[in-house]
Chain A
């Protein structure tokens, strides 16, 4: 821009825009297109066939296991998203009311878990939740129970809990940002007009922060539904989710086309959730 008319600069500009468009294409669009293409191939007897077919998609609708598992997975992830937003809201609220250094120290603390490897966190949670895990030993020690509980050991509850713990930071941030964006003078006006703190919260702050809550919920939902490792590690025999079906198509089954088709279906579900979230955001 500084050297408009300079031929060299023009060359640079072209190169930079080529990079700006080319890299996302190369690393995001092209892989997505390739697995979209793969989803129309098919496999039989361990051999890949490269003629195009709808059979992977029709199998999703006709085989009895896929839709129920997808539905259960959606419900599970919705629960995770709602839980994460409910638990994240008070934290975000506290963050927004703090000022100066304390705010940033607390913000850092909220973000620190994101720096830790995801797998290490799952392992840690697993040793907390196990039959002889930290939680059960603590409850037995505290005489609250006499037998170790199996409520949170290798089932969907454990998946729910683990995903919520892992994804809470992603709920806190958008809510925090939306709370920060509420003009202070609106809150002051509400107080000046005689509203109690509770009234101010219900009538002013909560409605204005709802877009953040919606973003947080859809964000957490999308992250949760794409996860296959957490259900694998803490779900036990009954924690079977859609992500695990997709995963198995690429490993043991060696059916990449079908795995790709299931991924496309999952991507559609995610897009629908994001679109729904945005629509809701605009309305509020």
Chain B
């Protein structure tokens, strides 16, 4: 039903999606090779996409960043047309010449995205030499979860994690890389991913203070939930964002989620075309199709993650999000983090 309506609506509007319509009739049975994370290419979308455009999307789901790299780099981009990748990872694909820039004229739906994603030049890493190498699709922030009964009013700053009032009631994440980045934001350092040795020293001292306030460092969302259930926990640094919020709410916890004013770290997944893309129009039709409001809402409803088209709980319009980048030296950060943990 909705499919017919869509098609009729498009014809009625005439100008709305000429590119899309052209591909749909010109290539009645073409095939598109898609590589995606679970939840980014659900069966009903693939079916609807085929009915609208006549293009069959063959989706391969991947489990890790390294798997994407192995498959794309391994075939020098020839085995897939379009793939999902986060902005930090994207850099090595662009460096290696494994991507094909998008033509925004073929992506009319990109005009209707949330203000945060309107100006692609503002999103670090997706443009190079004036060309758009990837289109933002899905994101989540790493904010603060707080117990509504124990923390009131809602916190607005990461500094609350250091508040002695919550000594022994804070859960933090056991990872040097992220902990250095978010503490850098808390201390007001402009670039949390490229720190000078002095900045690192200051952050290390600050993290040693944080340790005194922390009940435990967790590694998985399940672990955090279990710790929350059997202890007096007020605040959680939420490495797993909305996924964690959902798991805790499902377990009956009365919690809230905020992106503190210093800026929350956030990952951003995008769609990029490979250098070996066989049918560029089909690949762009796929990306454009996924940028519909309806798909964005379904994506967020099903995965809990934020989408680029419709507002969700991941972030309010005014929240400051800091897109994750590779850090200057992960080994160094991990060593310093071990030193923090080894202190008495």
Given A126-B226, A127-B230, A130-B231: A253 and B341 interface contact (C-beta under 8 Å): no
8 A Cβ contacts from B88-145 to A:
none
- The reply to whether A238 and B344 form a contact with Cβ atoms under 8 Å apart is yes
Is residue A22 within 8 Å, beta carbon to beta carbon, of the partner chain? Answer: no
Q: State the CA gap A255–B332 with chains docked (Å).
A: 10
Q: Which of B195-203, B213-221, B243-251, B266-274 contacts A (4 or more CB under 8 A)?
A: B213-221
- The reply to whether A255 and B230 form a contact with Cβ atoms under 8 Å apart is no
Chain B residues whose CB sits within 8 angstroms of the CB of A56 once the complex forms: none
Is residue B13 within 8 Å, beta carbon to beta carbon, of the partner chain? Answer: no
- Against A, the Cβ 8 Å flags (1 = close, 0 = not) of B227-271 are 101111000000000000000000000000000000000000000
Is residue A11 within 8 Å, beta carbon to beta carbon, of the partner chain? Answer: no
Closest Cβ of chain B to A223, distance in Å, is: 22
8 A Cβ contacts from A145-191 to B:
148, 150, 153-154
Given A45-B329, A150-B168: A130 and B230 interface contact (C-beta under 8 Å): yes
Q: State the CA gap A238–B213 with chains docked (Å).
A: 11
Is residue B18 within 8 Å, beta carbon to beta carbon, of the partner chain? Answer: no
Q: State the CA gap A255–B331 with chains docked (Å).
A: 7
- The reply to whether B334 and A130 form a contact with Cβ atoms under 8 Å apart is no
- The reply to whether A132 and B232 form a contact with Cβ atoms under 8 Å apart is yes
8 A Cβ contacts from B287-344 to A:
329-331, 334-335, 337-339, 341-342, 344
- The reply to whether B231 and A253 form a contact with Cβ atoms under 8 Å apart is no
Is residue B280 within 8 Å, beta carbon to beta carbon, of the partner chain? Answer: no
Is residue A5 within 8 Å, beta carbon to beta carbon, of the partner chain? Answer: no
Chain B residues whose CB sits within 8 angstroms of the CB of A131 once the complex forms: 215, 230-232
Given A131-B231, A255-B331: A248 and B226 interface contact (C-beta under 8 Å): no
- Against A, the Cβ 8 Å flags (1 = close, 0 = not) of B207-225 are 0000110111101000100
8 A Cβ contacts from B21-79 to A:
none
Q: Is the interface of B mostly helix, strand, loop or mixed?
A: helix
Q: State the CA gap A244–B211 with chains docked (Å).
A: 16
Question: Size range of the interface on A?
Answer: 20 to 34
Question: Size range of the interface on B?
Answer: 20 to 34
Given A237-B214, A253-B334: A68 and B342 interface contact (C-beta under 8 Å): yes
Is residue B175 within 8 Å, beta carbon to beta carbon, of the partner chain? Answer: yes
Chain A residues whose CB sits within 8 angstroms of the CB of B176 once the complex forms: 252-253
Closest Cβ of chain A to B69, distance in Å, is: 14
Q: State the CA gap A69–B223 with chains docked (Å).
A: 25
Is residue B281 within 8 Å, beta carbon to beta carbon, of the partner chain? Answer: no
- The reply to whether B342 and A65 form a contact with Cβ atoms under 8 Å apart is yes
Chain A residues whose CB sits within 8 angstroms of the CB of B230 once the complex forms: 126-127, 130-133
Closest Cβ of chain A to B157, distance in Å, is: 22
Chain B residues whose CB sits within 8 angstroms of the CB of A254 once the complex forms: 330-331, 334
Is residue B177 within 8 Å, beta carbon to beta carbon, of the partner chain? Answer: yes
- The reply to whether B330 and A253 form a contact with Cβ atoms under 8 Å apart is yes
- The reply to whether B338 and A65 form a contact with Cβ atoms under 8 Å apart is yes
Q: State the CA gap A46–B177 with chains docked (Å).
A: 14
Closest Cβ of chain B to A232, distance in Å, is: 7
Chain B residues whose CB sits within 8 angstroms of the CB of A255 once the complex forms: 331, 334
Is residue A104 within 8 Å, beta carbon to beta carbon, of the partner chain? Answer: no
CB nearest neighbor in A for B217: A237
- The reply to whether A253 and B217 form a contact with Cβ atoms under 8 Å apart is no
Contact partner of A154 (CB less than 8 A), chosen from B177, B215, B229, B334, is B215
Given A153-B231, A154-B216, A240-B341: A253 and B226 interface contact (C-beta under 8 Å): no
- The reply to whether B226 and A240 form a contact with Cβ atoms under 8 Å apart is no
CB nearest neighbor in A for B326: A46
Q: State the CA gap A65–B334 with chains docked (Å).
A: 13
Q: State the CA gap A232–B219 with chains docked (Å).
A: 9
CB nearest neighbor in A for B213: A237
- The reply to whether A237 and B331 form a contact with Cβ atoms under 8 Å apart is no
- The reply to whether B334 and A248 form a contact with Cβ atoms under 8 Å apart is yes
CB nearest neighbor in A for B212: A237
Is residue A12 within 8 Å, beta carbon to beta carbon, of the partner chain? Answer: no
Chain A residues whose CB sits within 8 angstroms of the CB of B214 once the complex forms: 236-237
8 A-B Cβ contacts within 8 A? A65-B338, A132-B231, A232-B219, A237-B217, A252-B175, A252-B330, A254-B330, A254-B331
